[in-house]
Every structure is written in C-alpha cells, then in structure tokens.
Amino acid sequence: METISVSSLKTNLSAELKRVQKGLVLTVVDHKRPVATLNPLADEALFVREATETYIAEELPPLVSTDPLTFLEEERAESW
C-alpha cells in the first residue's frame, strides 16, 4: 500500500487511477493525516440487471396555453 498527498493526487489523477485499476491500493493523506483509501473495484462489484418492465414515455401537457412564438413575435413588433 502506497500513500499519496492530496495535491499530488490532483496533479496526477488519471495516472494514479490507472495504477489503482491495476491493483494498487493508495492511501490519500492531507497534511500527513490519512483521509481516504483508493481501492480497485472487484469485477463483481458493479451489477447491472435487465429491466423487468418496459418504460413508456408519456407526453406532458404544455406549460403555457399560448404558442411561445406568438409572444416572441409580439415582443419583436413592439421593439421596432
């Protein structure tokens, strides 16, 4: 297990995350005090299951009863 400072982790985040993915465990220290541990995820840690129901999108009612283009045309006519 290695330690890394917060500032060094911020500077080299992508590279350090690649090292963690390969199996390295990193302890993040802030002013020499441990504050976090970065561990690689186990392959089984992320589980996505199939959908059990079909999603049906419903059309929402309009927020205004008047066409917004009408308001825009009126506003433009007033400014000329």
Average the pLDDT over 4-16 and give the result.
97
Q: What is the value of pTM for the model shown?
A: 0.53
CB 45 within 8 A of CB 38: no
CA distance 6 to 34: 10
- Mapped onto helix, strand or coil, the DSSP state of residue 30 is strand
Task: Please check the confidence at residue 14 and state whether its pLDDT lies above 80.
Answer: yes
| pLDDT at res. 25 | 96
**Is residue 45 in a domain?**
no
**Is residue 20 in a domain?**
yes
| pLDDT at res. 7 | 96
Task: Print the domain residue range for 8.
Answer: 2-38
CB atoms inside a 10 Å sphere around CB 63: 6
CATH number for the domain spanning 25: value is: 3.40.1620
Task: Please check the confidence at residue 76 and state whether its pLDDT lies above 80.
Answer: yes
| pLDDT at res. 45 | 58
**Is residue 12 in a domain?**
yes
pLDDT tens column, 23-73: 999 999 999 999 999 999 877 656 677 888 888 899 988 888 888 898 889
Q: How many domains does the chain have?
A: 1
**Is residue 7 in a domain?**
yes
| pLDDT at res. 37 | 97
